[in-house]
Chains A and B, each alone.
Chain A
């Protein structure tokens, strides 16, 4: 009985130890967790460099800030909001859908749609023009065929005479 109790205590202690280790690991967000947010942000100092791959000291500080904020329980959106409030909307990889930023979202599809429309329209006109031209030429071909034959016959006759 005593031995069983000792084993049980040991098992419980070990379980407690592992549980505490697991909690400790959970408290510190991993690089992947930090970078998942960092890649949605851009370095406000060096242009066009995502925060997750930016090598500067400033970016390292910001990644650490994200880690701290994650460990404090802040959500992804809260962290992004914090960065926008502190460093401006230009840190966002995806510009907020406000004001002139809407152009970024509206222009490309509008231009693609307009392009597709004009392309379709042009193709249709080309096909129509080509069909009409064939029809007209066929029509003319039938009507002028005897005249053309006559002309060729006369030409051949003239050539024979000259020989």
Chain B
């Protein structure tokens, strides 16, 4: 006696392969995103890609309303991320300005302030309050801070004459000498 038991129809092979590929692609994507998040800031030794920083009116660099990192080949660049709502930033504001004044005449060092997620009136009030004169501008769309993968403010990045990062300071500087000693590492 033969029985007509219906054959169980499975999911077509192409559908199974597609679903598994989709799941694997999704997991890879999640992994890459999580990996990037865990990476931390850019590391000393990394070549910094070129970026453009628009500058606040009154805080231009040599009359230019925006600057590129590549404009500063041959100079040490001190890139400071700050915000007017950031209290620890206030602790180092005077020190940064003093260090800038120390190097300004030599022309070997450039100080740049990147204002992180801030409003312009408050940012201007902050710059005025601490008498800051070096070039400053908003980090539009947080593109620069995302590129450096900053974890907060203040953070300061020291870039050598060849555009290579050589020091990262997370948190406020405690003294002008601290800033000078880091800058001096790359000066002749």
Please determine whether chains A and B interact with each other in the same assembly.
yes
Contact present for A86 and B8 (CB under 8 Å)? no
**Chain A nearest Cβ from B9, distance in angstroms:** 8
**Chain B nearest Cβ from A112, distance in angstroms:** 15
B window 100-145: CB within 8 A of A = 117-119, 122, 138, 140-143
Chain A residues touching B, range: 20 to 34
Q: Select which of A65, A87, A103 is within 8 A of B141 by beta carbon.
A: A87
Contact present for B140 and A86 (CB under 8 Å)? yes
Contact present for B141 and A61 (CB under 8 Å)? no
Which residues of B lie under 8 Å from residue A88 when comparing CB positions?
141-143, 146
Which residues of A lie under 8 Å from residue B8 when comparing CB positions?
125
Residue of A nearest to B146 (CB): A88
**Chain B nearest Cβ from A73, distance in angstroms:** 18
Which residues of B lie under 8 Å from residue A136 when comparing CB positions?
3, 5
**Chain A nearest Cβ from B152, distance in angstroms:** 8
**Bound-complex Cα distance A139 to B118 (A):** 80
Which residues of B lie under 8 Å from residue A61 when comparing CB positions?
84-85, 118-119, 122
What are 23 inter-chain pairs, A to B, with CB distance below 8 A?
A44-B117, A44-B142, A56-B85, A57-B85, A58-B83, A58-B118, A61-B85, A61-B119, A61-B122, A62-B119, A65-B119, A85-B141, A86-B117, A86-B141, A87-B117, A87-B141, A87-B142, A88-B146, A103-B29, A107-B26, A125-B9, A132-B5, A136-B3
